[in-house]
Amino acid sequence: MVKKAFNYLRNQDYFFSLLICLAFAIALAVFSPYFLVRNNLDSLQTTIAPNSIIAIGMMLLIILGMFDLSVGSVMGMSGIVAGYVLSRTALVQALGEPLVVLLAVLAGLAVGLVVGLINGVLVAKAKIIPLITTIGTMYIVRGFAEMIMTSETGYSLIGFPKAFIDFGRTKFLGLYLMTWVCLILLAVFGLVLTKTHIGRKLYYIGGNRSSALSLGMNVDKITIICFMISGLLSSIAGILSVSRFESASRYLGVNLQMDILIACIIGGGSFLGGKGDMWGVFFGTAFVALLQNGFNLFEINPLLKSVVIGAVLAIVVAVDGYLYLQKKRALGKV
């Protein structure tokens, strides 16, 4: 029974991330007395939950053979937009708290949808490669966010309604509500990917684009929808983070796209498309979060973090490419 379960796991794409994640968690628990402490586990949740939510959208795109680098900027921008609506006291007095919170959330989500739509149309219709498109929108959205935060308005984003802050603070069964949102989203997208026709289409397009086209699949439409989902999920993560941290920061989501990409690739995705699942999203983001947690727990110079992240990404890309090459060689295609 155990052997059967192990054999099953070993054949999954996420096996490597599960293994490395467990190993890292055990190492941290053994070597650091502060790892299994309430506060540390709480702060881990606030990293893993938003990152996982963003990584869901990224994984959908990676399955398609694309990616989105604008997620970090979108996360920051939606947080700022939501914070802007929430901190208008005149609006709160006129409309009442619940309506303003709803309005703020909708405004935040609109940012993600619009940026996702722009990304999707540029990639699918204008045929610009995803890297250039999303680097462009990354800088553009970040530029707007910086512009807001360095102007007068930047100082006024305080004093949010109580209902909004309570949402970030409340725990249910020991987990923050944002963690529950994340788990629900993971389950929903996991089911969609494995059980539905639409989910399987993504793998098909990622695996062989030209045959998907010749089968009459609307690849452009699916691409645009996936980019919009990615933007929407980044917005959700941004709004949840703002409600947890009780402020809209200009540093929210800076350079986050790297962490997310690495998480997805470690979690079994491949830049060539056609691979990846929601278990991988969770274990991948958990691994990256644990890595950062390790830096904090052992008081290693935080500047080294981006060195490690970059090196991990380069190594992961190299290993991914090597395995692909081996597979091709085994088939005698190279």
Partner 1 sequence: MDKQLYERKRFKPSDYTVFLLIAAIFLLLTFTSDTFLTYNNLYSLLYGVSIQFFAVIGFTFLLILGEIDLAVGSMYGLSGTMAGVLMVLGKWNFLPSVLLTLVLCTAFGAGVGLLVTKLRLNSMMVTLGTMSLLKGLTAVLFNMMTANIYGEAYRNFAKFRIMGINWTILAMVLIVLVFEVLLQKAPSFKQLYYVGHNEETAKLYGIKTNKLKVLSFAACALTAALGGIIATSRITHSDILTGSGLEFSLITACVVGGASLAGGRGGMLKSAAGMLFIALLTNGMIIYRIEPNLQQVVIGIILVIAVSIDVWINKYKYKPFKLLRR
Give residues in contact with partner 1 (CB under 8 A): 65-66, 122, 126-133, 135-137, 139-140, 142-144, 146-147, 150, 209, 255, 258, 261, 271-272, 301, 303-318, 321-322, 324-325
Nearer to partner 1, 141 or 236 (CB): 141
Cβ 127 to partner 1 shortest distance, Å: 4
User: CA 220, 225, 227, 228: dihedral to nearest 10 degrees?
Assistant: 140
Nearer to partner 1, 10 or 221 (CB): 221
Nearer to partner 1, 141 or 290 (CB): 141
Tell me how far apart the alpha carbons of residues 63 and 268 are, in angstroms, rounded to a whole number: 10
Cβ 253 to partner 1 shortest distance, Å: 15
Cβ 334 to partner 1 shortest distance, Å: 8
Tell me how far apart the alpha carbons of residues 110 and 105 are, in angstroms, rounded to a whole number: 9
Contact 193, 14 (CB under 8 A): no
Nearer to partner 1, 62 or 104 (CB): 62
Scored b (16 or more CB within 10 A) or e, 146-179 reads bebbeeeebeebeebbeebbebbeeeeeeebbbb
Q: 225 CB contacts (<8 Å, ≥6 apart)?
A: 120
Cβ 269 to partner 1 shortest distance, Å: 12
Tell me how far apart the alpha carbons of residues 292 and 167 are, in angstroms, rounded to a whole number: 26
Cβ 40 to partner 1 shortest distance, Å: 24
Nearer to partner 1, 165 or 291 (CB): 291
Tell me how far apart the alpha carbons of residues 196 and 192 are, in angstroms, rounded to a whole number: 5
Nearer to partner 1, 28 or 261 (CB): 261
Cβ 224 to partner 1 shortest distance, Å: 14
Tell me how far apart the alpha carbons of residues 182 and 122 are, in angstroms, rounded to a whole number: 29
Query: Which two three-digit tokens encode residue 327?
Result: 């597979």
Nearer to partner 1, 91 or 313 (CB): 313
The closest alpha carbon to 265, from 27, 67, 9, belongs to 67
∠ Cα 233 239 242 (to 5°) = 140
Nearer to partner 1, 26 or 272 (CB): 272
SS3 state at 176:
strand
Cβ 207 to partner 1 shortest distance, Å: 12
Cβ 306 to partner 1 shortest distance, Å: 3
3-state helix, strand, coil in the chain (%, to 5): 80, 0, 20
φ, ψ dihedrals at 84, nearest 5°: -65, -45
Cβ 256 to partner 1 shortest distance, Å: 12
Q: 272 CB contacts (<8 Å, ≥6 apart)?
A: 65, 206, 320, 324
Nearer to partner 1, 4 or 127 (CB): 127
Neighbours of 36 (CB within 10 A): 11
